[in-house]
Amino acid sequence: MTIQLRPRHPEKAHKADSAIPRKPKWIRKKKIESAEYYETRKLMREHDLATVCEEAACPNIGECWSKRHATMMIMGEVCTRGCSFCNVTTGKPDTLDAFEPGRVAAAVKKLGLRHVVITSVDRDDLEDGGAEHIAQTIRATRHQNPGTTIEVLTPDFLGKGEAAQAVFEAAPDVFNHNLETVPRLYPRVRPGARYYTSLRLLDDAKRANPQLFTKSGIMVGLGETLDDVRQVMDDLRAAQVDFLTVGQYLQPTPKHHPIDRFWSPEEFAQLEQIARAKGFLHVSATPLTRSSFHADEDFAALKEARQMALAKGI
């Protein structure tokens, strides 16, 4: 009997293929598979946990897992959205696992993480978009790991009212929500989301707790211009976002959004310079920057930048 596997991206099946261009030399990375890499993978399997590292085909997985850093992806492996850039499976998710927060907390303890990033799929099928489940995961992780700082990368909770308040009240150390791209490209890149809803979420997080670090990221190479990116930076600073990440979009399959172009390392350096001049406390802008790449080092830099700003009376 032949088993029919559920297609990973059913919403993209009708789309014409787009050729995936050869990556320039500054994008290519050597495959890293150390003993620590396999130990991290084994630990994720033992605790029945998904990681965005695998599901989103992150190019940095070898480096991160070899340092025993893995970004937990909670609420299942199936997303209710169908963003044109994303490699996470789209479809109808399973019911929430009430024991997942405890498993995440136990994995963080075994990995000995000083800083952990917890992200999730979009769960538009849930009344609160999964906000309470995220909050429970924060609380469970903090209970088992009181010395670990916690960063959450959340959905936008579109149409879920005040659901995000549950996440704010759980008091993560960093609240991250990615804008992903410039507003002009939302209809094609992030059709299930609204640019100003995402901005408002980041602004609400800072208003709920001014001491909370807020963070957001975008990709370049989707068809945006430098002026588009500058405007996004201004919008994020108006929402008092502290930390900006900018990375190169890499096309997962021929059915995904085509790459418009590869931005050069020099252009990324320019983006970092522009962002710092606009007042972000910390900026990571490189071709291989991803939301959780080097998150522990970035969090340390973020705290130091805030202390320096306070000392200067900024």
Instruction: Please tell me the distance from the alpha carbon of residue 102 to that of residue 137, in angstroms, as a whole number.
Output: 7
Annotated binding-site residue? 58: yes
DSSP 218-240: EEESSS--HHHHHHHHHHHHHTT
Annotated binding-site residue? 216: no
Q: One-letter amino acid identity for 158?
A: L
Annotated binding-site residue? 18: no
Annotated binding-site residue? 83: yes
Annotated binding-site residue? 79: yes
Annotated binding-site residue? 66: no
3-state secondary structure of 266: helix
3-state secondary structure of 162: coil
DSSP 75-135: S-SEES---TT--SEESPPPPP-TTHHHHHHHHHHHHT-SEEEEEE---TTSTTTTHHHHH
Tracing tokens 């009181």 back to the chain, one arrives at 146
**Binding-site positions for [4Fe-4S] cluster:** 53, 58, 64, 79, 83, 86, 292
**Binding-site positions:** 53, 58, 64, 79, 83, 86, 292
